[in-house]
Each structure stands twice: as C-alpha cells, then as structure tokens.
Structure 1
Amino acid sequence: MFYSAVNFILAVVVLISIVLQEIHNLNSTNMLCEDQWGVKRDPKTKDILINCYVKPTAHRTVLEDVNETLNIIRIQSPKVYGKGNRKLIVYLSRIFRVNRTELSVIKGQQSANKVVALKRKDFSVPSVVRWIAQHLPPEDLLEPDKYFIKGGRPDIYKRSN
C-alpha cells in the first residue's frame, strides 16, 4: 500500500514536470517563430525588430511594399549624414504612435537594408503588423496605368461636365 502511494505521487510529479516542460518549450518556440512581414520579437531583449529596405530621395516618405521578409519604405531625404535614418525613425514613430526615442536603427546604419528596434514590451508582433498593413497604399495606386491617360495627367483629376 505504501509503495503504491509513493509510485502514484512520483507518477504525478513526473507528469506535471513533463507538462510544464512542454508549456515552456511551446512558449519559447512561439517567441522565436513569431515572424511575419519582417517583424519579429527579439528573445533576449524582448524588443520588436522590423526589417526594412529603404529607398532614399523619393518624392515623399511612404511605405511602398511589404514582402514576407522585409518592408520597403521610400524616404524623402537623401542618405547623407544619417538624414535618411532620422527620417525613417520619424516616419515609423508616426505609424506606431510612439516617441522617437523608442525606435532605433540597430543594423545597417549605412546600408539600404536596416533593422529597426521598437523598444516597447507591451506591443505584440500582430499589432505591429496590423499597423503596417493600415499604412500600405491601396492596390489601385500601385497600378499607375489605370489612372493615367495619354497626356500624362491623372484621370482622377479630370473634371466631369
């Protein structure tokens, strides 16, 4: 009788430890695999990392396109003396509605491929992806032939009589 109670308690302890180990593994793998549109959470610092490809000297600063691995952003300022990086930080701070000090370029200061860290622990990767999706241009604006006529003037500005 005593041995069966001890065996039962040992079995319960082993079962609980296995369940806790599986829960820990599940949480850690979700933390590492949470990657969408080039947005993921750093497991060490818990910052949100955003992969960007920056095209400088555009007519205006706009989020141009999104791939599975990175965000393509056109920046209005040229890439001299870090002006492009500052403009990128200002643009992303407006998208995410955070202070500029909470964003920093951690990789690619002098490259077109950049990794920007968002230092907010309360943000989740899906919420950041949702904000990025809200700032994408409509699909119709990506097809310029649809709106432009032969003279080069946009069709949407034509007056209707």
Structure 2
Amino acid sequence: MVQVTFGNQPVTLVGKELSVGDQAPDFKVLDNARSEKTLADFKGQKLLISVVPSLDTGVCDAQTRRFNEAASELGEGYKVLTISMDLPFAQKRWCGNAGVENVETLSDHYAASFGEAYGVLMQEHRLLARSIFVVNEAGEVTYVEYVSEGTNHPDYEKALEALKAL
C-alpha cells in the first residue's frame, strides 16, 4: 500500500492502489457546468489525469498551469484532466482567473467516486491526494505517480513523457 503524507502527517488513502497495467476504473465526477462525466466520456483518448487537493493552493495551481501549458502542445486524441474536490463553481472561477483553457477541470466533491476508485481519497481530510495517472486509448493505466508528500510537486517530465509515448 502506498504511503502518503499531507503536511508531513500520515494520511489514510481510501480505495485500491492502481498499478501500471491495470484497467482504469470508471468514475462519476462533475464538470464546470455540473454535468456528470465518467471515464466513458473520454473513451478512445490518451489521458493524463492530474489529481490535486485544491486548485486554490500554490502547488495545485502550479501543477494545473504546467499541464495546461503542455496540453496546448498536444495533438488530436490527447486530453488532460485535473480532478479535485473543489466545487464546480470554484473550478470554473479559478480557470477563468488563471486563463486555463487546455485542461478540463472536474469535481469529485459529490460522491468521491474518483478518489475511491483510484485510491487517492484522503480519509482524514476528504481531499484527493496529489497523483498522476496516464491512461491509453484502450483504458489501460500506463503511468502512475502517487506523490509521497501532498505539498510536493509531481514529476512533470516523467508524466508528460509517458503521455507522449502513447
């Protein structure tokens, strides 16, 4: 089981830890218009799923901006998602203020479906642990990073290399 801290305090992750080669689990989240989205909505696309605790924090802001910049250079068939527990209204406001247009932000606040399915729901905080998942067109997980300390940055280059290798 992956060990994660948040603010240097151990947290309990709810759900199954994913590994390379696993089939990406389904989930139900909300987009910025409060419409339900599932994994099936991204079928046939190469996905980079960037998971953050909250867009309104420094590292989460930087992570989302970094992947937004990278997404602008990706070709057809690629999709970058950022998933957090932030409300859809807050995500929409944040994206507008930050000028983020190439990443689709999705909210897991309603049922924590994504957090439980991907093993990133921090039980103690009801936030998602910082992590990255790359999923190929067939729905197979090809890259996983559970960031060991929630206030640290993920390995942007490794994640982007894994996405571009698809």
TM-score (norm: length of structure 2)? 0.23
The structure with the larger Rg is 1
User: Larger strand proportion, structure 1 or 2?
Assistant: 2
The structure, 1 or 2, with the larger RCO (C-alpha pairs under 8 Å, 6+ apart) is 2
